[in-house]
A and B are shown apart, each in its own frame.
Chain A
Amino acid sequence: MTEVSENPTQIKQEAKAPKTIVPGGFKRSVCKLVMKLLGKGICYGYKVDSRIKQDVDAIGDDFSVKLTISPIGPTMIFGKKDQKPFSRIGSYDEEATMTISFKGLNSAFKMFTGGMGLAAGYAQHRFTVKGDLYKILAIVRIINIVEGYLFPKAMAKKLMNPIPPKQVNSVRFLCGTLF
């Protein structure tokens, strides 16, 4: 919240940055892909899973959550505006109502690819949070439920205890998310 907002050209700059100077380019690309999927999954989940809808609505009517990886991203923003959920790839420096920032790429990669759950990430001090900690729990549940749909069961089992039950089947969820 204390971060200074950057100008709108920031997004373009990130996109244009030559790939060779980005450390951990492969892992960052994978994280970006999973983030994208997660964002779309949240938006689709809002329509088909009552728990996701309930938690998104409980966070507020107009909010944005920034998920990012230090020190340069990738960054995904999701939230709700005009009664509708949204998600998009954003820039590292932009402001949001709440920011969850992973301290390093390797642990972020683990968390986005099913090697570590959010609870373990928290216990290991792998990320920082700016904003109302009270709302973080709703975010954690939303992400857990979406990951429960998107990740294979064996993977989900490693991530959370217990795995949240599904309200629609995973294939349908994945199709809804992708198309």
Chain B
Amino acid sequence: MLPKYYEFLNSVKIMSGENALENLPHELKMMGAKKPIVLTDAILAKCGTLDKVQKAFKGFDIDVTETYTEIPPDSSIKVINEIAGIFKAKGCDSIIALGGGSVIDTAKGLRIVIEQGGNDIMDYMGLDSLPRKDRIAFAVIPTTSGTGSECTNVAVIANPDKNVKMEFISYDLLPDFAVLDPRMTETMPPKITANTGVDALVHAIEGYTCLQKNPLSQSYAFAAIRLITTFLPKAVLEGGNHEYRLAMSNAATMAGIAFSNSMVGLVHAIGHAIGGVAHVPHGIAMAILLPHVMKFNLETLKPAYAELLLPLAGAEIYATTPKEERAQKAIEFVTAFIKQFESVGLPTKLSDAKVTEDQFDAIAQTAINDGAIVVNPIMATKEQVIEILKEAF
């Protein structure tokens, strides 16, 4: 069934597999890039991941020595404006983002400021309202498999003065290249592998079910779920295995493409709020909330959840579950799937993630102002959000 109208875009060239990094210099050369600024965080700079990237450029007429390695876990407008200054002062002409969601979102914000020709990212807030300007080459090398940010048109950037996260939605945020090289994710610790992987699962499930869903985004979501339920437990146990890592990188990217074109829903609306109010890492908030929000949406989304039992649990279980029980079974599967990662330290209750009951009101108030709440099939009220929080406590 087709929606009355939909739009879909993924213009990112995906470079996936062993030695993927090696093909990046050629691509940047073809776009005329001579001096990219490389954005990353302190840990990746120290542990040698940045080195690997720089080495890949040896012999090319591309200078990758200009780096910014102090990107904080929550990308903020201040950092972006600061890097924009450096970018211009040092004569950079392109961007390489090496890292997780925060680094990539910072790079997206930087690209907007540079391309639009301003100095302050705050001038460009909005939805689909930026005029097309000359593009600067922008490559993303994700070091986690979760956010899918390498293929999304969304950036979430903190405004520390107001203690809120701001959302930017524009096709101009899509990078030119996403490099999925298993060497970039192989050192990720099990707990982070688990919670970023669950984030990708939420992207796929919400991308499949939210109001903006369409046949293309649903195809990506469906395939991503199959990969995640097959390979996430393996990648958590055996992080050095390149096959598992690459499967998860692909899954996260596909889930990213799905939700970039259909947006995320209530899990993310509440998850962003829990992140803002109680500083719970995004993936952990996702893991805690997903089963409870699925229960909340169950009545409206019964047919869709029933369909998802197939990629979630596999053909055998799907076929042997009576039609009317499949949606419920999908929720049970998701609950058990997430619970298995308790063994590597993933909290599955808000109380275990140090959220307190007196924060519920603030969390709910923030959640109902989050853009993601609009495309959830039921527009939740503040009271309903508080009920969900109580369930998840």
Measured in the bound complex, the distance between the Cα atoms of B4 and A162 in whole Å is: 21
Measured in the bound complex, the distance between the Cα atoms of B212 and A136 in whole Å is: 18
A128-B128, A128-B129, A135-B369 known; 5 new pairs, CB 8 Å cut-off, are A118-B374, A119-B375, A134-B164, A134-B369, A141-B368
Measured in the bound complex, the distance between the Cα atoms of B4 and A40 in whole Å is: 32
Taking CB atoms, residues of chain A closer than 8 Å to B164 are 134
Measured in the bound complex, the distance between the Cα atoms of B123 and A130 in whole Å is: 9
Measured in the bound complex, the distance between the Cα atoms of B128 and A87 in whole Å is: 25
Residues of B155-203 whose CB lies within 8 A of A: 164, 166-169
The residue of chain A having its C-beta at the shortest distance from the C-beta of B376 within the complex is: A119
The residue of chain A having its C-beta at the shortest distance from the C-beta of B368 within the complex is: A137
* Residue B42 at the chain A interface, CB threshold 8 Å: no
Residue from A123, A129, A161 in contact with B378 in the complex, judged by beta carbons closer than 8 Å? A161
B129 adjacent to A129 (CB under 8 Å): yes
* Residue A2 at the chain B interface, CB threshold 8 Å: yes
Identify the 8 closest CB pairs spanning chains A and B, nearest first: A123-B212, A129-B127, A128-B129, A123-B211, A128-B128, A130-B126, A124-B5, A137-B369
* Residue A132 at the chain B interface, CB threshold 8 Å: yes
* Residue B240 at the chain A interface, CB threshold 8 Å: no
* Residue A125 at the chain B interface, CB threshold 8 Å: yes
A162 adjacent to B378 (CB under 8 Å): yes
Taking CB atoms, residues of chain B closer than 8 Å to A130 are 125-126, 129
B6, B168, B169, B212: which has the most chain A beta carbons within 10 Å? B212
Taking CB atoms, residues of chain B closer than 8 Å to A175 are none
- Binary flags per residue of A135-166, CB closer than 8 Å to B gives 1, else 0: 11110110000000000000000001110000
* Residue B379 at the chain A interface, CB threshold 8 Å: yes
* Residue A122 at the chain B interface, CB threshold 8 Å: yes
Measured in the bound complex, the distance between the Cα atoms of B371 and A128 in whole Å is: 13
The residue of chain B having its C-beta at the shortest distance from the C-beta of A133 within the complex is: B167
* Residue B377 at the chain A interface, CB threshold 8 Å: yes
Taking CB atoms, residues of chain A closer than 8 Å to B373 are 137
Taking CB atoms, residues of chain B closer than 8 Å to A101 are 129
Taking CB atoms, residues of chain B closer than 8 Å to A135 are 369
Measured in the bound complex, the distance between the Cα atoms of B303 and A112 in whole Å is: 31
- Binary flags per residue of B208-247, CB closer than 8 Å to A gives 1, else 0: 0011100000000000000000000000000000000000
The residue of chain A having its C-beta at the shortest distance from the C-beta of B263 within the complex is: A123
* Residue B324 at the chain A interface, CB threshold 8 Å: no
B379 adjacent to A161 (CB under 8 Å): yes
B5 adjacent to A131 (CB under 8 Å): no
Contact size range, A: 20 to 34
Taking CB atoms, residues of chain B closer than 8 Å to A133 are 125-127, 166-169, 371
Measured in the bound complex, the distance between the Cα atoms of B18 and A139 in whole Å is: 48
- Known interface pairs A133-B167, A134-B369, A162-B379. Does A122 touch B128 (Cβ–Cβ under 8 Å)? no
Taking CB atoms, residues of chain B closer than 8 Å to A137 are 368-371, 373-374
B369 adjacent to A1 (CB under 8 Å): no
Residues of A within 8 A of B (CB): 1-2, 99, 101, 118-120, 122-125, 127-138, 140-141, 160-162
Taking CB atoms, residues of chain A closer than 8 Å to B4 are 120, 124
* Residue B358 at the chain A interface, CB threshold 8 Å: no
Residue from A123, A136, A160, A162 in contact with B375 in the complex, judged by beta carbons closer than 8 Å? A123
- A58–chain B nearest beta-carbon distance, Å: 8
The residue of chain B having its C-beta at the shortest distance from the C-beta of A138 within the complex is: B369
* Residue B7 at the chain A interface, CB threshold 8 Å: yes
Residues of B1-25 whose CB lies within 8 A of A: 3-7
Measured in the bound complex, the distance between the Cα atoms of B212 and A119 in whole Å is: 9
B371 adjacent to A136 (CB under 8 Å): yes
B379 adjacent to A160 (CB under 8 Å): yes
The residue of chain A having its C-beta at the shortest distance from the C-beta of B169 within the complex is: A133
- B4–chain A nearest beta-carbon distance, Å: 7
- Known interface pairs A122-B374, A122-B375. Does A132 touch B166 (Cβ–Cβ under 8 Å)? yes
- Known interface pairs A124-B6, A129-B126. Does A134 touch B166 (Cβ–Cβ under 8 Å)? yes
B211 adjacent to A132 (CB under 8 Å): no
Taking CB atoms, residues of chain B closer than 8 Å to A140 are 374
Taking CB atoms, residues of chain B closer than 8 Å to A122 are 211-212, 374-375
B368 adjacent to A1 (CB under 8 Å): no
The residue of chain A having its C-beta at the shortest distance from the C-beta of B262 within the complex is: A123
Taking CB atoms, residues of chain A closer than 8 Å to B3 are 123-124
Taking CB atoms, residues of chain A closer than 8 Å to B123 are 1-2
Measured in the bound complex, the distance between the Cα atoms of B369 and A135 in whole Å is: 7
- B114–chain A nearest beta-carbon distance, Å: 15
Measured in the bound complex, the distance between the Cα atoms of B370 and A11 in whole Å is: 34
- A55–chain B nearest beta-carbon distance, Å: 9
Measured in the bound complex, the distance between the Cα atoms of B125 and A136 in whole Å is: 12
Measured in the bound complex, the distance between the Cα atoms of B368 and A141 in whole Å is: 10
A129 adjacent to B128 (CB under 8 Å): yes
- A44–chain B nearest beta-carbon distance, Å: 23
